[in-house]
């Protein structure tokens, strides 16, 4: 079933964008752990809609109600279930989506897959809103990893052609990344942030949208984590990454650029620093043979432009089986990248916790 993921840690998502609520069940958390729910809520607010002029106008507090798995301020070790009840729904904005298929969205394949019985309001179960409970689970996993000395951080690498500064793959400044979290957008270079914001507002004025790249670093994972082939660190993270709506690409370390190097340049040469093994470069993103080598895990995901745009587009009417025009109404993000940053951190934390548990 598509709503389930995991080996040692198992998660199950449920709900629709305009249904009564959305949520997640997390099975396999260690018992006796005290969760900082204030920090969890801070993570939820990083993803929540309606925060600024670059986001959808939909207002959701994204407060999570714990239904099970937490007692006397500790995890019980049994399945932890969290529910977020939807508050600000305007389902009438989506009545045309029953018959007019949004280009670039899941309306048409969803109609085919579920024989027309899918909930089309706000994208239903296909909506990016379902990433909210994933952030909830990821926030807990981030705290569990922090207790083991592992940090997960990220930044917006690019919006369209506008890029943030290049990071040092071998030495990640965690405090610099955490400082970026408090900004309007998680960007390291303030000048790049202003250019990115201008670009987003420009496409918004044009009734269009734009995508971008999120770069994530996982620091403190010891060497020897992961497996070759099917349960490699890359395949675990990639599986979760492609479960996030709008993710269309992923690369680790140098990614596609490593193909431009010779072996002598691409290889990460080892050296001892005391008793710790490190590498001079980190072109492989901290992973070789599907297993961590102790260097920071580096990966990037490509986020496509939001498919729901206000410009008129060509489409089909599945009721009359004719070609038609569509001009979308409702509330949509001109760029989803800034809200996807905590989602990518969440899937990274979930994946690593599953591998090291």
Strand partners, 68: 81
Average pLDDT, the chain: 93
Q: Where are the alpha helices (DSSP H) in the chain?
A: 37-47, 107-113, 131-146, 174-181, 190-205, 233-241, 263-266, 337-356
The reported pLDDT for the residue numbered 51 is: 61
Give 231-281 pLDDT, tens digit per residue.
999 999 999 999 999 999 999 999 999 999 999 999 999 999 999 999 999
85 token code pair: 């009840």
The reported pLDDT for the residue numbered 60 is: 58
The reported pLDDT for the residue numbered 59 is: 55
The reported pLDDT for the residue numbered 354 is: 98
Q: How many CB atoms lie within 10 A of CB 74?
A: 12
The reported pLDDT for the residue numbered 267 is: 98
- Residue 236: helix, strand or coil by DSSP? helix
* Rounded distance between C-alpha atoms, residue 206 and residue 119, angstroms: 29
The reported pLDDT for the residue numbered 57 is: 55
80 φψ region: left (φ > 0), alpha (ψ -120 to 50), beta (else): beta
The reported pLDDT for the residue numbered 324 is: 97
Helix (H) or strand (E) holding 152: strand 151-159
Q: Is the pLDDT of residue 91 over 60?
A: no
Give 188-238 pLDDT, tens digit per residue.
999 999 999 999 999 999 999 999 999 999 999 999 999 999 999 999 999
Give 115-171 pLDDT, tens digit per residue.
998 888 877 888 889 999 999 999 999 999 999 999 999 999 999 999 999 999 999
Q: What's the whole-number mean pLDDT along residues 104-123? A: 89
Helix (H) or strand (E) holding 115: none
Band (pLDDT 50/70/90 cuts) for residue 88 is low
Total-model pTM:
0.93
Domain parsing of the chain, residue ranges: 4-356
281 token code pair: 């470069």
- Residue 36: helix, strand or coil by DSSP? coil
Share of the chain above pLDDT 70, in %: 94
Residues 107, 109, 112, CA angle at the centre, nearest 5°? Answer: 105
Q: What's the whole-number mean pLDDT along residues 32-44? A: 97
Q: Is the pLDDT of residue 56 over 60?
A: no
Q: Is the pLDDT of residue 304 over 70?
A: yes
Longest Cα separation, the chain: 72
CATH code, residues 4-356: 3.60.150.10
Q: What's the whole-number mean pLDDT along residues 97-103? A: 89
DSSP 253-272: TTGGGGGGS-HHHHS--EEE
93 φψ region: left (φ > 0), alpha (ψ -120 to 50), beta (else): alpha
């Amino acid at each position: 079933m598509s709503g389930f993921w995991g080996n040692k840690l198992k998660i199950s998502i449920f709900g629709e964008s305009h249904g009564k609520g959305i949520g997640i069940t997390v099975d396999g958390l260690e018992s006796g752990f005290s969760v900082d729910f204030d920090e969890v809520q801070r993570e939820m607010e990083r993803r929540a809609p309606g925060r600024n002029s670059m986001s959808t106008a939909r207002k959701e507090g994204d407060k999570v109600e714990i239904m099970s798995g937490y007692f006397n301020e500790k995890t019980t070790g049994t399945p932890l279930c969290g529910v977020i009840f939807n508050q600000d729904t305007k389902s009438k904005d989506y009545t045309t989506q029953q018959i007019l298929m949004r280009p670039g969205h899941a309306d048409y394949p969803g109609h085919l897959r579920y024989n027309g019985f899918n909930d089309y309001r706000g994208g239903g179960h296909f909506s990016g809103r379902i990433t909210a409970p994933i952030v909830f689970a990821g926030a807990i996993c981030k705290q569990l990893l922090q207790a083991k000395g592992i940090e997960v951080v990220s930044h917006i690498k690019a919006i369209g052609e506008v890029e943030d500064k290049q990071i040092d793959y071998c030495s990640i400044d965690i405090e610099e990344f955490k400082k970026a979290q408090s900004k309007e957008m998680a960007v390291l270079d303030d000048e790049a942030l202003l250019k990115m914001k201008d670009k987003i507002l420009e496409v918004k004025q044009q009734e269009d949208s734009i995508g971008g790249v999120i770069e994530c670093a996982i620091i403190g994972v010891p060497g020897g984590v992961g497996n070759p082939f099917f349960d490699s660190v890359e395949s675990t993270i990639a599986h979760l990454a492609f479960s996030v709506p709008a993710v269309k690409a992923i690369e680790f370390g140098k990614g596609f650029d490593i193909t431009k190097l010779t072996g002598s340049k691409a290889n990460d040469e080892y050296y001892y620093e005391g008793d710790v093994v490190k590498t001079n470069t980190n072109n492989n993103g901290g992973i070789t043979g599907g297993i961590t080598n102790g260097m920071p895990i580096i990966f990037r995901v490509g986020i496509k432009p939001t498919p729901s745009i206000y410009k008129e587009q060509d489409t089909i009417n599945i009721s009359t089986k004719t070609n038609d025009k569509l001009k979308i109404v409702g509330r949509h993000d001109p760029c989803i990248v800034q809200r996807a940053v905590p989602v990518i951190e969440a899937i990274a934390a979930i994946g690593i916790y599953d591998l090291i548990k």
